Amino acid sequence: MGLTPLHRRKEVFVPAQPQSRQGTREAPAWRVDAAGSPAAPGAAALVPVAGAPVAPTAGYQAYGATTAGTRRFPRRAFRGNWLRLVSLVAFIGLWQLLSSTGVLPPGKLVSPATIAHTAYNLVVTSSPTYGTLQGSLLISAERWAIGLSLGVTIAVLLAIVTGLSRVAEATLDPIVQALRSIPLLGVLPLFIVWFGIGELPKDLIVLLGALFPMYVNTFAGIRGVDPKLRELGQVLGLSRRELVTRIVLPGALPMAFSGLRLSVVSSLLALVVGEQINANAGLGFMITTAQQFLENNIIMVCLIVYAILGLLADGAVRALERKTLAWRHEFVQ
Q: How long a stretch of residues is the chain? A: 333
Question: What pLDDT score does 62 carry?
Answer: 42
In this prediction, residues 24-36 reach a mean pLDDT of 44
Cβ atoms 141, 130 nearer than 8 A: no
Name the pLDDT band for 327 (thresholds 50, 70, 90). Answer: confident
Q: In sequence order, what are the beta bridge partners of 10?
A: 47
Cβ atoms 222, 284 nearer than 8 A: no
Query: What is the Cα–Cα distance from 333 to 71, expressed in whole angstroms?
Result: 10
Rounded to the nearest angstrom, the gap between the alpha carbon of residue 261 and the centroid of all alpha carbons in its chain is 6
Query: What is the Cα–Cα distance from 270 to 263, expressed in whole angstroms?
Result: 10
* Residue 264 CB-half CA count within 13 A: 18
Q: What is the pTM of this model?
A: 0.68
Name the pLDDT band for 45 (thresholds 50, 70, 90). Answer: very low
Name the pLDDT band for 329 (thresholds 50, 70, 90). Answer: low
Query: What is the Cα–Cα distance from 289 to 299, expressed in whole angstroms?
Result: 9
- Check whether 37 has a pLDDT greater than 80: no
In this prediction, residues 104-111 reach a mean pLDDT of 82
- Helix, coil or strand: residue 38: strand
Question: What pLDDT score does 49 carry?
Answer: 45
Distances (CA, A) of 59 to 31, 33, 66, 264: 13, 9, 10, 47
Cβ atoms 53, 6 nearer than 8 A: yes
In this prediction, residues 105-115 reach a mean pLDDT of 84
In this prediction, residues 23-42 reach a mean pLDDT of 44
Q: What is the pLDDT of residues 244-274, one digit of tens each?
A: 888 888 888 889 999 999 999 999 889 888 8
Helix-helix angle 249-275:283-292, to 10 degrees: 30
In the chain, the largest separation of any two C-alpha atoms, in whole Å, equals 103
Amino acid at 251: G
Question: What pLDDT score does 138 carry?
Answer: 92
In this prediction, residues 42-64 reach a mean pLDDT of 45
302-307 long-range contacts, CB within 8 A, separation 24+? 302/136, 304/115, 304/119, 305/133, 305/137, 306/268, 306/272
If you average pLDDT over every residue of the chain, what do you get? Answer: 77
Query: What is the Cα–Cα distance from 328 to 233, expressed in whole angstroms?
Result: 20
- Check whether 39 has a pLDDT greater than 50: no
Q: What is the pLDDT of residues 80-98, one digit of tens each?
A: 667 878 888 888 889 889 8
Q: What is the pLDDT of residues 283-297, one digit of tens each?
A: 888 888 888 888 888
Q: What percent of the chain has pLDDT over 70?
A: 74
Rounded to the nearest angstrom, the gap between the alpha carbon of residue 39 and the centroid of all alpha carbons in its chain is 40
Query: What is the Cα–Cα distance from 81 to 319, expressed in whole angstroms?
Result: 12
Question: What pLDDT score does 281 carry?
Answer: 82
Q: What is the pLDDT of residues 210-256, one digit of tens each?
A: 999 999 999 999 988 888 887 888 788 878 788 888 888 888 888 99
- Read off the DSSP letter of residue 244: I
Q: What sign does the CA torsion over 322, 326, 327, 333 have?
A: positive
Q: Which of 308, 325, 332, 320 is nearest to 134 (CA)?
A: 308
Cβ atoms 259, 218 nearer than 8 A: yes
Q: What sign does the CA torsion over 97, 98, 102, 104 have?
A: negative
Torsion of CA 195, 199, 200, 205, to 10 degrees: 110
- Helix, coil or strand: residue 211: helix
Q: What is the pLDDT of residues 148-187, one digit of tens each?
A: 999 999 999 999 999 888 998 899 999 999 988 888 888 8
